[in-house]
Amino acid sequence: MEERLSAVLSPYEGRKDALIPMLQKVQEELGYLPEEAMMAIAKFTGTPESHVYGVATFYAQFYFSRRGRNQTKICTGTACHVKGAARVKDAFERELGLACGMTSEDYEHSLETVACVGSCALAPVVVVNDHVHGQVETGKIDKILEQSIKD
Amino acid sequence: MQKVNSPADVAKMRDYCQAAFARRKLRFLVCAGTGCIAGGSLEVYEEFKRVISERGIDINVDLLFEGQESEAGTVTSGCHGFCQMGPLVRVEPMGTFYTKVKAKDVEEIVTATMDENTVVERLLYEKDDGSHATTELDVDFYNRQQRIVLGGCGTIDAEDIREYFAVDGFKALATILQDLSPEQVIEIVKDSGLRGRGGGGFPAGRKWEAGRNAKATPKYVVCNGDEGDPGAFMDRSVLEANPQSVIEGMTIAAYAIGAEFGVVYVRAEYPLAVVRLLKAIEQAKEYGVLGDNIMGTGFNFDIEVFQGAGAFVCGESTALTLSIEGKRGMPRVAPRPRTTEVGLYDKPTLLNNVKSFAYVPDIIREGAEWFKGIGTESSSGTAVFALTGNIVNAGLIEVPMGIKLREIIYDIGGGIPKGGTFKAVQTGGPSGGCLPESLLDTPIDYDSLDEAGSIMGSGGMVVMDERTCMVDVARYFLNFTEEESCGQCVPCRLGTKQLLEILNDICAGKGKKQDIDLLIELSHSIHGGSVCGLGQTAANPVLTTLRYFKDEYEAHINDKCCPARVCKDLISFRINEDKCKGCTLCARACPVSAISGEKKEVHVIDQGLCIQCGVCMEKCPNKFSAVECVSPKIPVPAKEKTEVPA
C-alpha cells in the first residue's frame, strides 16, 4: 500500500491545504480510507492524525471500511421522497438482503441512500454502479440490478 | 483563428466561428444532460454519428473551420430542461423537436430529415388537444419561459468553446477590459438590481463593491456550486450545459474586485459538471480568454475546480471557504467579519452562486436597464427553478420574477398528473416551506415568498399532491437537517434531533396532544439560537406545515390517521372482496407471503404478517384495482387459541 499511497500523494507535496483532494484521490485508489492511509496522509502533510480523521469523518463522501464490488445508491432527495423513495429503499433492502449503509459479507454488494443525485425530474432514482435509473418501480428492481451489476 | 489576442479579436472570433458553423447544413443536437443520459441519450448520439457517417458525410467539426462544407453533423448539448420527456433531440436549423428518442429511432429521423423533408410525427411532443408540436416554441413548457441563464443550455455544445464564441461569448469580458473601469462594472451590476441567486438574495453589486473596497491582498473569487438542497439541479445544469458563461462571469467579477485567482466549488455528486468545467477552463486558457495576460490586456485570472466531499452545510459561505482550506466545514461563529473582508485563506473573497455569475455576461452585454426591465421592482431578472415532484412536466425552467406560482405549476408544469389534486408546493429546500393551494397566487420574488413563510432558495420547487403526507414531509426535512447539522452549536445539533423525534412519534401514531405546542416552541428556540443559516431555517418545514396543514398533524395525533395514507404505522392494506378476481398476482408478489387465496377466489391479506410495502397494490391490475389502502389501521385480530393436544 505504501507505494500506491506515495504515488497518489506526491503531486500534493507542500500543499497542506489540499487535504480533501488528497483524501478523495486515496479513496479513488483504494476504494475506501483505511486507518493506515489516513495515518500516512497525516505524516505526509505534517498534521495530527486526529485532524485528518476529523476532516474525513465530517464529509459524507468518505468511507472507512471496504465496500462491495457493486454499489447501489438510492436517492432520497425531496422529489424522490415524494414519489416513493421509501418504498424503493425497502424493496432494495429486501432484494439484496442488506440494510442501507451495509456491505454484504462476500463484498459483492453495498447499499446506501444518498441525499440527492440531481436527476429529480426522473424521480424516484436509483444509481447502480454509476448507472442512473429513473422512474423506478418496486416491481422491477430485479431487472435494474440485472442490467447494471458487474459480471 | 486560434487565439484572442486583443479585446477587438472577440468580434472577429465570433464571426469566424459563426461562419464555420453555418457551413453545416443540418445539425442533430442531442441532449446530454444527466437526465437524458440516464435515458440513453449517449447511445442515441453514437447512433447519429454512425448513421450520418454511413452516408459518407465527415462529421468532424474541425473541417468546418477549414472552410469545407458539410451536409450534416451531430453534437451533444447540455440540459434542454424538459428532462421528463428525454432523451431530447433537436434538428437545426428548422428546430424540429423530438422527445423520448431511442437509438433505434435515429435512422428514421435522419431519413425523414435528409431524404424526405418530413418529420417523424410519433416522436413529436403531443399537446393536450392531441395535436403535435413541431418545435419547442410550440410546447407550453417552453413558450411561457424566458431563458437568460438557461439561454445557452441545450443550444450549444458545452465541450466546444467555439460554439460559445459564436453566440457572443466573451464579448462582455472584452467590453469591460477595453472600455470600463472596475468601478463602472460594479455600477452596472448595482444598477441591474441583480440579487444573489444562491437563496439569500443579497444585492450582488453591493457585495462586489465591498470586495473592491477590501484592502488586503490577494483577493479571491469563489463560485458556489455546492448545490446541496435535495430536489434541486439548476446549478448542475448550468455548469454542465454552459460552463463558459460561469467562467466569463467570474472573470468579470475578478476584474471588478481586483482578484487573480478563483475557485469553483462543485458538489461531489456532480462528476459530469466537473469534467465539463475543467474542459471549459482548459479551452478558455488556450484561446487566451482566461489565465495569464487575458486578451493581451495584461489582466491575469486563473480558476481552479474544487470538488466538495458531501456536506450540505458547506453551501454556507464561511463553511465553504474552510472546506477549500482542507478543514471541517463548520460555519464561523458570529460576530464575524464578512467574507468579502475575511474569506478564503483569511483574505477578501467574493463568493456568489453559479447562476449569479452566469447572469453577468448578459447584464454587461445588454445593459442594466434591460435586466431591470424584467421581473419586479425589488427582484429584477428571472428565476430558475427545478420543477419536480407530482407534476406533469418536470424539468428545469426559467421565468421572470413576479410570475405567480399557479402559472408555473399549471401553465408550464401542466398541473398534477393522473387526475390528482394539488396539495402543496415546496420551495427553498430544507430551509424553505410548503405553501398550500390558497397561496398559489403569490408572486415569485424574494420578499413575497418570505412573507408566506417559505423562501426563494436556490430554486428547488417540489409539487405535492394529495398522496403526500405533510407531517411526513416535515419529518423528511428534519431527518435531513439533523444529519447535516455540523454539530458545533447546541440549538441546531440537539434541537433538530428533538424535533425529529417528536415528528417520528407523530408519524408512528405515538403523538401526544401537547406535541404541536412543543414543536412550535422548539422551532423558535432553534431559529433564535443557531449559529448559521442551516440551523436558523431548519424548523421552517415544520412551521409552515403546521401553519397551513395543522389538520393533518391533528389527524395523526388524535385519530391515529394519516389522511394521505403514507405513514406506514397508521395504514393497512386490504383486498376489496367485490373487486378481487383471484388473479393471484398480488399473492405471488408479496415478499412476506401475507396474502392467501386460491386462483379465481377472493384473496385475503393477513394483517398480522403484512409489512405495508404496497407491492400488492402496485401489482393489482388497474382494471381490478382491488387492493385498497386505509387509515387508521385495521386492528390485527387476536390469535385464536388453539387447543394443544395433551
What are the domain boundaries of chain B? 16-143, 169-372, 382-465, 470-558, 571-630
Mean pLDDT of A24-50: 94
What band does B295 get if pLDDT is binned at 50, 70 and 90? very high
SS3 assignment, position A43: helix
Residues A115, A94 within the same domain: yes
Q: What is the pLDDT of residue B644?
A: 59
Q: Please tell me which residue, B429 or B570, carries the higher pLDDT value.
A: B570
Residues A93, A36 within the same domain: no
d(CA B25, CA B439): 49
Residue closest to B173 by CA, chosen among B255, B112, B243, B100:
B255
Residues forming a β-bridge with B220: B261, B349
At a CB cut-off of 8 Å and minimum separation 6, what does B577 contact?
B602
CB of B261 closer than 8 Å to CB of B220: yes
Kindly report the CATH number that applies to the domain delimited by B16-143: 3.40.30.10
Any A CB within 8 A of B408 CB = no
Q: Which residues of A touch B229 (CB under 8 A)?
A: 78, 116
Any A CB within 8 A of B470 CB = no
Q: Domain tally for chain A?
A: 2
Any A CB within 8 A of B148 CB = no
pLDDT at A48 over 70: yes
Cα distances (Å, whole numbers) of residue A80 to A59, A129, B64, B262: 23, 19, 44, 34
Q: Is residue A13 in some structural domain?
A: yes
Q: What is the pLDDT of residue B160?
A: 94
> What cell was used for B306?
474544487
* Cβ separation A118–B324 shorter than 8 A: no
pLDDT at B122 over 90: yes
Q: How many CB pairs under 8 A join A and B?
A: 151
Q: Which residues of A touch B323 (CB under 8 A)?
A: 20
SS3 assignment, position B429: helix
Class of domain B571-630: alpha beta
Residues forming a β-bridge with B531: none
Residues A74, A141 within the same domain: yes
Q: What is the pLDDT of residue B371?
A: 96
What band does B646 get if pLDDT is binned at 50, 70 and 90? low
Residues A14, A77 within the same domain: no
Write down the number of H helices and E strands in chain B. 26, 20
Residues A85, A17 within the same domain: no
CB of B343 closer than 8 Å to CB of B239: no
Residues A80, A133 within the same domain: yes
Class of domain B382-465: alpha beta
Mean pLDDT of B491-516: 97
CATH architecture for segment(s) B169-372: 3-Layer(aba) Sandwich (3.40)
Residues A132, A93 within the same domain: yes
* Cβ separation B619–A116 shorter than 8 A: no
What band does B645 get if pLDDT is binned at 50, 70 and 90? low
B40 phi/psi in degrees, rounded to 5: 100, 25
CATH number at A98 reads 3.40.30.10
User: Using CB atoms within 10 A of its CB, is residue B56 exposed (0-12), middle (13-18) or buried (19+)?
Assistant: exposed
Residues A83, A119 within the same domain: yes
Query: Quick check: ipTM above 0.95?
Result: no
Last residue of a domain, one of A10, A32, A58: A58
Q: Which residues of A touch B308 (CB under 8 A)?
A: 59, 61
Residues A144, A82 within the same domain: yes
pLDDT at B641 over 60: no
Any A CB within 8 A of B169 CB = no
d(CA A82, CA B390): 8
Q: Which residues of B touch A133 (CB under 8 A)?
A: 38
Q: How far is B154 from chain A (nearest CA, A)?
A: 16
User: B420-448: per-residue pLDDT in tens?
Assistant: 999 999 998 899 999 999 999 999 998 99
Residues A79, A30 within the same domain: no
Q: Is residue A65 in some structural domain?
A: no
Per mean pLDDT, which range of B7-16, B223-232, B561-570 is the poorest? B223-232
* Cβ separation B462–A82 shorter than 8 A: yes
Residues A49, A75 within the same domain: no
* Cβ separation B269–A133 shorter than 8 A: no
> What's the mean pLDDT when you consider all of chain B?
93
Last residue of a domain, one of A38, A58, A78: A58
Q: Is residue A63 in some structural domain?
A: no
pLDDT at B567 over 70: yes
At a CB cut-off of 8 Å and minimum separation 6, what does B538 contact?
B430, B431, B478, B481, B485, B492, B495, B496, B499, B526, B530
Q: What is the pLDDT of residue B571?
A: 96
Q: How far is B395 from chain A (nearest CA, A)?
A: 5
B229 → chain A, closest CA residue:
A116
Indicate the pTM of the whole model: 0.93
pLDDT at B629 over 60: yes
Instruction: Tell me which residue in B269, B468, B615 faces A117 most closely, judged by beta carbons.
Output: B269
Q: Is residue A37 in some structural domain?
A: yes
Residue closest to B568 by CA, chosen among B504, B511, B512, B517:
B504
Class of domain B470-558: mainly alpha
* pLDDT more than 90, % of chain B: 82
Q: Is residue A10 in some structural domain?
A: yes
Residues A94, A124 within the same domain: yes
A40: domain range? Answer: 2-58
d(CA B284, CA B159): 11
Instruction: Tell me which residue in A17, A81, A133 faces B38 most closely, judged by beta carbons.
Output: A133
Q: Which residues of B touch A137 (CB under 8 A)?
A: 618
Instruction: Tell me which residue in A62, A118, A120 faces B309 most closely, judged by beta carbons.
Output: A62
